[in-house]
A and B are shown apart, each in its own frame.
Chain A
Amino acid sequence: MAQHPSILLKNIKQPGQHTLSGYESRGGYSTIRKVLKMEPAKVTDEVKTSGLRGRGGAGFGCGVKWGFIPKGNTKPVYLINNADESEPGTFKDRVLLELDPHLVIEGMLICAWAVQSNWSCIYIRGEYGYPYTRIKAAVDEAYAKGYLGDNIFGTGFKHHMVVHRGAGAYICGEETALLNSLEGKKGQPRLKPPFFPAAIGLYGCPTIVNNTETLAALPWILENGGKAYAAIGTEKSTGTKLISASGHINKPGVYEIALGYPLLQFIEDECGGIRGGKKLKAVIPGGSSMPVLRADELAGVNIDYESLVKAGSHLGSGGFMVMDETTDMVEVALNVAHFYAHESCGQCTPCREGGHWIEKIFRRIAHGDGLGGDVQLVESICGQVAGHTICAFGEALSWPAQAFIRKFPDEFKHKIGDALVGIRSKRESLNFEYEGAH
């Protein structure tokens, strides 16, 4: 088993790490004290040097994003910790919020200093009850100690932090929907342009939205330097990444790995191999919205942004789902499609209508009522949803559906082949062609 640098999960097993005293006893809050003496621009530069990329799914350069705040801005700058971790198969932020909440707070303070923000919010997924109590307690403790408030660490820097619980909508993890939700509006994504909340965000003010894991990496980067962080991982995928491993493996859990680690080795070594000695069938490497990869596509693939894109998928949020040979891929496709149909915010037409349509077709196929042409129809629907919606949800619902039907055509064909002849004639009676997309 390879040795991975431990940056994020280093202390999570230490007793009392979630308390302020426990965190401080292991050197916590020492980095922020140093950072507060640095030039804010220097902090941003250090993060740029580290090559840290957003861990929420998009993988956008963290320091670059901070730089989008308009020059000469006079409005308040808001910082949002996006802890609305709802991507199926992803449970890494939960570990940080529960077991090392002060690491998250320290990371947020570093970011706050870099972008000169006096107000931040932890937007935590509504269903995360226990993580909420932990992070809330940590924030309260930090306030009591003067680590948050009008004069933090006695430096005169003001920073207030609010913990806000979501109300159970996946879409509120999309940053502009999150901002609408915070403003008290319905959690629906905003139109682009403007493309970045860093220019026009919460209440029309510049807003930096970063994932919990991204922020938690900051203390280490500022303590050890951006170069040290960049030395880990690959050239473009620097540092470590938390992988939420689940599915048919012997040791599911959250693992911290250096990016660029071979995927199959990860399954074998870290995850303890496939349960019951079964054969690997497929892996979804980045949360359920990312395309599935067949076992035969995995040779030589590493867990990092570039390698997975080359293989035809994405690192996404690091929701790593492993399926063995017993898995019915039609059922998986239905399960995923059901989730996205249920979670579509309903704002724009293609996603609102297309998501449920795909689910209904998959359900029919799974129940043995599939019809000839169904697969092509799903392909055509996906083609018209992806890229035509307000936010990336259109891709999130079409990519996996497309991947399942493209990569496991035989399973779909098999199920449809079982369909009743009478129902099949229903479609034939419609008497028009299904060739190609629209």
Chain B
Amino acid sequence: MAAPEAAPLVNLTIDGKKVSVPKGTNLIDAAKVAGVDVPFYCYHPHLSVAGNCRMCQVQIKGQPKLAIGCNTTVAEGMEVLTQHSSKDVKDAQAATLEFILINHPLDCTVCDQAGHCKLQDYHYEHNARPSRFLEEKEHKVKAEPLGPHVILDGERCIMCTRCIRFCDEVTKTSELGMLNRGDRSVIAINPGRELANPLSGTVVDLCPVGALTHRDWRFNTRIWFTEQTETICPGCSTGCNVKVATRDGQVVQVKARLNSAVNKEWLCDEGRYGFDRFLPAKRLSAPLVRGQNSTWDVAATEMAALKGQDVLVFVAPDLLLEEYFMLKALLGKIAKSAQIAVAYRERKLSEVEAVLVSPDYAPNFKAAEFMGLVGGNLTSGYEEALFKLRSGSCQAVLCFGDRSILAQDLDDTALRGLSSARVSVATFTDATSKFAQAARVSLPGRSILEKSGLLINRKNRLQYSARCVPLLEGSEPEWRLMQRIAGACGAQLTAAQDDRALSVTFLGLEPRLAGLRIASVKGQGVCLNSYQPNAAAAAGQREAGAQA
């Protein structure tokens, strides 16, 4: 996140520890600076302050009542006591938890949220006592679908209103509201409406408890049986930060991660519920030559014909930055000349989609630009290349990735262009792809979900996408396939043996990224518009590059 322009610093103490934070910071964030986690449910940094959960109460010296951290901004000389140093605060937080839980069904054993539930976490951290509530609990609406993706359990709800505020303030669709009063209050859908906006699944992420759950993924697994990976959604060039839970190689839940500079904590339904669309049901797992199962050796013999050719290259917009780098090296070493196109088309977005979604399905087209493979108007470059392919005059064609030529563009003329070339190589994952029949050589590539590496989003933020599903035997990442092509033509590209080694090598060679390591890109990413490469490291890299 860009630093707030010269907001004056305010000095205060939190639990006796001195901190200086920019003016306007609230006490939850200020406490974070002091290393104190003030618990909260209803607060969200990108939604309006509701102040209703009362979990973030802190004590401010000189004030008679406890204050809520979310709605209190820092002031010079303020002395703040949190649960670590004030008994009143500790008691108030414990009491709040007891209050929240008196009407809660405590059905953790069947609740999808169990294991990643803030009620559970905070209960163990701040209360952890049996309830004193012996009365009949209030009964509310159960298993009420709010829309195509989201289902409500009214009894688990703690009325934090994050979902309501999201629909009011972010999507501005206002489907949700609060009905009734007191402990009969429930979240409800407004009359005649349906929670069907393109970002509707986000309310489930925002729900700090198990009140809102995904209809698609309900009851499919306990979260502790899953493997969770922090990665980037490859749906479009927004590059939303996500956490993907998988079990037995299947994607079982996708959750947005907080990144204020990218997706805040939102995620679109198309990206979320379609996350596994990048893993086709039938996979290509061995090379094909002229549509027939073959071996790597036969494929290599075929590919040797690429050497010294004028090559037409179609490259998918969802390869890794490292792979674009490798492609550049490959073409430099084997081709006489190359015309490169990245499959980029824009679509029209609805008003709500435009809040988050980018008008493309091209998560990493920026990286292709960054490596200088393509430039100018990408769509017309792509269409020119298609025109050339369809004219049937190309002798050598390379296609990298399932989306190197978009399905709607892969018509009969284009396929004829591919099959009539003297040599054509396509890498893809889907065994049912039309490429399989038309390309001379088909190589089993890997889905973006199976690779780890760098992506650059539409706003020029470098992010790290991590592999989140197990690898398919026989398939290879595109960069390795490029290496095989180079090998077939008698050249050598890299000594890297895995994705990670390649990323490290690449970061070591690219002067514009000098000083970056994988660890520094993970998490929140790095904005390339403002990144100043480490000068010394850059000089070293130029030297290393010259020697190589």
Contact = CB atoms under 8 A, between A and B. Distances in A.
Interface of A: 169, 171, 186, 191, 193, 341-350, 352-357, 360-361, 364, 371, 377, 384, 387-390, 426-427, 430, 432, 434, 437-438
- What 4 pairs across the A-B complex have the smallest Cβ distances? A346-B185, A384-B95, A353-B99, A360-B135
Contacts of B159: 346-347, 349, 352
B182 A345 contact: yes
A169 B65 CA distance: 27
Interface in B19-75: 49-55, 57, 65-66, 68, 71
Given A352-B159, A360-B135, A388-B54, A346 B96 contact: no
Nearest to B136: A360
Contacts of A169: 181
Contact of A349 (B66, B71, B100): B100
B92 interface: yes
11 contacts: A341-B183, A345-B181, A346-B159, A348-B54, A349-B53, A350-B99, A355-B183, A356-B138, A377-B132, A430-B130, A432-B130
A178 B186 CA distance: 21
Indicate the member of A348, A427, A434 with the most B CB atoms within 10 Å: A348
Interface string B507-540: 0000000000000000000000000000000000
Contact of A344 (B100, B135, B182): B182
B141 interface: no
A353 B91 contact: no
B178 interface: yes
Contacts of A432: 129-130
B134 interface: yes
Given A349-B55, A350-B54, A384-B96, 12 more contacts: A193-B71, A344-B182, A345-B182, A346-B181, A349-B158, A352-B99, A353-B183, A356-B183, A371-B134, A388-B65, A390-B51, A430-B130
A349 B181 contact: no
B50 to A, nearest CB: 8
A438 B94 contact: yes
Indicate the member of A193, A347, A355 with the most B CB atoms within 10 Å: A347
A353 B95 CA distance: 11
Contact of A390 (B52, B66, B100, B184): B52
A360 B159 CA distance: 21
B54 to A, nearest CB: 5
A387 B138 contact: no
B378 interface: no
Contacts of B98: 438
Contacts of A426: 134
B132 A434 contact: yes
A272 to B, nearest CB: 38
Contacts of B129: 432
Contacts of B158: 349
A361 B57 contact: no
A344 B51 contact: no
Interface string B75-109: 00000000000000001101110111011000000
A160 to B, nearest CB: 30
B178 A349 contact: no
A384 B159 CA distance: 19
Contacts of A360: 135-136
Contact of B51 (A186, A348, A377): A348
Contacts of A356: 138, 182-183
B180 interface: yes
A349 B91 CA distance: 15
A341 to B, nearest CB: 6
Contacts of A186: 177-178
B134 A349 contact: no
Nearest to A344: B182
Contacts of B68: 191
Contacts of A438: 91-92, 94-95, 98
B49 to A, nearest CB: 7
A360 B54 CA distance: 23
Indicate the member of B54, B130, B181 with the most A CB atoms within 10 Å: B181
Nearest to B129: A432
B328 to A, nearest CB: 56
Contact of B133 (A344, A345, A357): A357
A348 B52 contact: yes
B65 A387 contact: yes
Contacts of A342: 181-182
A350 B130 CA distance: 18
B90 to A, nearest CB: 8
A343 B181 contact: yes
Indicate the member of B54, B158, B182 with the most A CB atoms within 10 Å: B182
A349 B180 CA distance: 15
Contact of A389 (B54, B134, B135): B54
A67 to B, nearest CB: 23
B130 A346 contact: no
B427 to A, nearest CB: 56
A343 B136 CA distance: 19
Contacts of B52: 347-349, 390
B184 to A, nearest CB: 7
B103 A353 contact: yes
A364 B134 CA distance: 10
Contacts of B51: 191, 348, 390
A340 B303 CA distance: 81
A201 B95 CA distance: 32
A348 B132 contact: no
Indicate the member of A350, A352, A355, A357 with the most B CB atoms within 10 Å: A352
Indicate the member of A341, A345, A353, A377 with the most B CB atoms within 10 Å: A353
Contacts of A377: 132
A388 B181 contact: no
Given A347-B52, A348-B52, A191 B71 contact: yes
A348 B42 CA distance: 10
Nearest to B102: A353
Contact of B99 (A171, A191, A345, A354): A354
B83 to A, nearest CB: 12
A384 B181 contact: no
Interface string B184-214: 1100000000000000000000000000000
Contacts of A191: 49-51, 68, 71
Contact of B182 (A355, A384, A389): A355
Nearest to B135: A360
A58 to B, nearest CB: 16
A348 B53 contact: yes
B380 to A, nearest CB: 49
Contacts of A348: 51-54
A352 B182 contact: yes
A184 to B, nearest CB: 12
Given A169-B181, A349-B52, A389-B54, A384 B92 contact: yes
Contact of A388 (B92, B100, B180): B92
Nearest to A361: B135
Interface string B153-165: 0000011000000
A418 to B, nearest CB: 18
Contacts of B50: 191
Contacts of B133: 357
A54 B210 CA distance: 45
A390 B159 CA distance: 14
B137 to A, nearest CB: 10
